[in-house]
Amino acid sequence: MTTLNETHDTALTSWVTTANDDSTGFPIQNLPFAVFRKQGTQGAFRPGVAIGDRIVDLAALAKLNVFEGLAAQALNTCTGDSLNALMALGRDHWRALRLALSRALRTGSPLQAQIEPLLSAQADAEYTTPARIGDYTDFYISLHHATTIGKQFRPDNPLLPNYKWVPIGYHGRASSLGVNQAFPRPVGQTRPTAEGEAPQFGPCQRLDYELELGIFVGTGNAQGDRIALDQADEHVFGLCILNDWSARDIQAWEYQPLGPFLAKNFASTISPWIVTLEALEPFRTAFTRGAGEPQPLPYLSSDTNRARGAYDVRMEVLITTQASRAARHAPAHLSASNFSEAGYWTVAQMIAHHTVNGCNLQPGDLLGSGTLSGPQPSEAGSLLELSNGGKAPIALPWGEQRTFLEDGDQIIIRAECQKAGYPRIGFGESVGTVMPAR
């Protein structure tokens, strides 16, 4: 079991002084990973770690040869354009690297003079997908989302009998995952206007976002083996923000009997930064089911999972539009939710379920949580829910209203962990923009 260690000490400060208040969400207790380069250059992308408003260039740091042992081994994998090699090393290496980075970046570190020249401003950076994502699986862990959506697709049968037993998941598209995406509105088939007619065809009319968290697999499992529930955490590198864009009208027509396909695979936007599971340790919380809920089958059930299987991560969805940006309005709040309250299943349960049949996970694979709608209507993680299937337009503060997304709309999702007496642990944000259909 991972527990708190020196890197979580709230007294730690960094010689990068912007890390020492809660403004950036990247204090020395966080140290999230991304793959970046200077904006507008054609230079190679390379791994970096955030500290305050700066990024430590890990490829350059590796050349200094100032770390030792497992930390040096881990750092030496950070020279390419993805984090896959680091992810494949395993938890002992991740911990050693985090500890070495924490010591190197803290106030008074003798390495300050050597490392300072390797820092660059996040404001000048551009990012790419932090890992080569071999496979992307999307789960469906919010009971509230499943129930609300179920009512719209199957009014008489909203929650299917398997929901409270099976962490429902399906395979998504890895190729169209990215950071800071601007994508054309998808085109496709939608329901015929009358039974027996040809379907309609054209740009999606019910384009939506989905508020999710992404789970990056670190070490995988051999095909045929399974990962036990209480070992699952060791296999997870960290979490990011995920916006799983959805074309609701395309989905409604295509999804039976084999699930969503073109309704989802045109784009999925993650945040550039991966917050490691170790950085999230202070925000683990109990995961319990209500008295009336069935207890999971043994392979999905353990004392550890109940005691600390959930993560207290707050999320917020914001929108800007072409008009609001022109008028320089601040982004408008659409909803807020919390990972620990939204999930009917934990990260560990998703991993244990995914591999129970021998399916092999690989370093860099991404699991999506599914839309993280909370119990309250204001905590809904999609417009489909917030607008009651398009029937209740949402008023935006600058006078526009929305049921679904219009061209030029930009969705910003933020996430963070906060509790009294601990520095704010930020995830940065995922940003995606809807362009006109081609």
Return the SS3 of 357. coil
Q: Is 329 a catalytic residue?
A: no
Per-residue binding string, a second copy, 262-291, x by CB under 8 A, is: x--xxx------------------------
Q: Could you tell me the smallest distance in angstroms from the CB atom of residue 124 to a second copy?
A: 25
Does 152 bind a second copy (CB under 8 A)? Our answer is no
Q: Which of 145, 235, 353, 354 is catalytic?
A: 145
From 40-48, 111-119, 164-172, 381-389, span contacting a second copy (CB under 8 A)? 164-172
Alpha-carbon torsion (186, 177, 394, 371), positive or negative? positive
Query: Residue 104 and residue 64: Cα distance in Å, rounded?
Result: 12
Find the part of the chain contacting a second copy (CB under 8 A) among 36-44, 71-79, 251-259, 399-407: 251-259
Instruction: Tell me: does residue 253 bind a second copy (CB under 8 A).
Output: yes
- Cα(418)–Cα(62) distance, integer angstroms: 32
Is residue 186 near a second copy by the rule CB under 8 A?
Answer: yes
Q: Give the total of residues touching a second copy (CB under 8 A).
A: 70
Paired residues of 169 in beta bridges? 139
Question: Which span (16-24, 27-35, 39-47, 217-225) binds a second copy, by CB under 8 A?
Answer: 217-225
Candidate residues 304, 360, 388, 418; the one interacting with a second copy per rule CB under 8 A: 360
Candidate list 1, 11, 198, 291; residue touching a second copy; CB under 8 A: 198
Helix (H) or strand (E) holding 424: strand 422-435
If one asks whether residue 260 binds a second copy (CB under 8 A), the answer comes out as yes
Binding a second copy (rule: CB under 8 A), the pick from 299, 301, 389, 408 is 299
Q: Verify binding: residue 140, a second copy, rule CB under 8 A.
A: yes
Q: Which of 43, 108, 161, 421 binds a second copy (CB under 8 A)?
A: 161
Stretch that binds a second copy, among 118-126, 235-243, 324-332, 355-363 (CB under 8 A): 355-363
Which position among 178, 238, 381, 423 is part of the footprint of a second copy (CB under 8 A)?
178
Helix (H) or strand (E) holding 353: helix 347-355
Which of 66, 166, 228, 394 binds a second copy (CB under 8 A)? It is 166
Interface with a second copy includes 330 (CB under 8 A)?
Answer: no
- Residue span binding a second copy (CB under 8 A) among the ranges 11-19, 349-357, 372-380, 417-425: 349-357
Q: Is 193 in the site for a second copy (CB under 8 A)?
A: no
Task: Tell me the window of 19-27, 183-191, 229-237, 405-413 that interacts with a second copy (CB under 8 A).
Answer: 183-191
Nearest in space to 319 (alpha carbons), one of 251, 403, 417: 403
Cα of first residue to Cα of last residue in the chain, in angstroms, is 51
195 binds a second copy, rule: CB under 8 A: yes
By CB under 8 A, residue 187 contacts a second copy: yes
Q: What are the tokens at 150?
A: 């179920």
Residue of 90, 259, 282, 390 interacting with a second copy (CB under 8 A): 259
- For 171, residues 6+ apart whose C-beta sits below 8 A from its C-beta are 135, 136, 137, 138
Are the C-beta atoms of residues 28 and 14 closer than 8 Å to each other? yes
- Which of 54, 91, 353, 414 lies at the binding interface for a second copy (CB under 8 A)? 353
The answer to whether the Cα torsion of 91, 93, 96, 101 is positive or negative is negative
User: Which member of 1, 110, 256, 421 binds a second copy (CB under 8 A)?
Assistant: 256
In sequence order, which ranges of 45-191 are alpha helices (DSSP H)? 58-64, 69-76, 84-89, 91-105, 112-115, 143-153
381 contributes a contact to a second copy by CB under 8 A: no
* Closest to 185 in 3D by CA, of 412, 431, 408: 408
The residue from 180, 356, 389, 422 that contacts a second copy (CB under 8 A) is 356
Contact residues: a second copy, CB under 8 A = 134-135, 137, 140, 150, 153-154, 160-162, 165-166, 168-176, 178, 183-184, 186-189, 192, 195, 198-199, 201, 204, 220, 223-226, 247, 250, 253-262, 265-267, 294, 297-299, 353-354, 356-362, 365, 435, 438
The residues carrying an active-site annotation are: 145
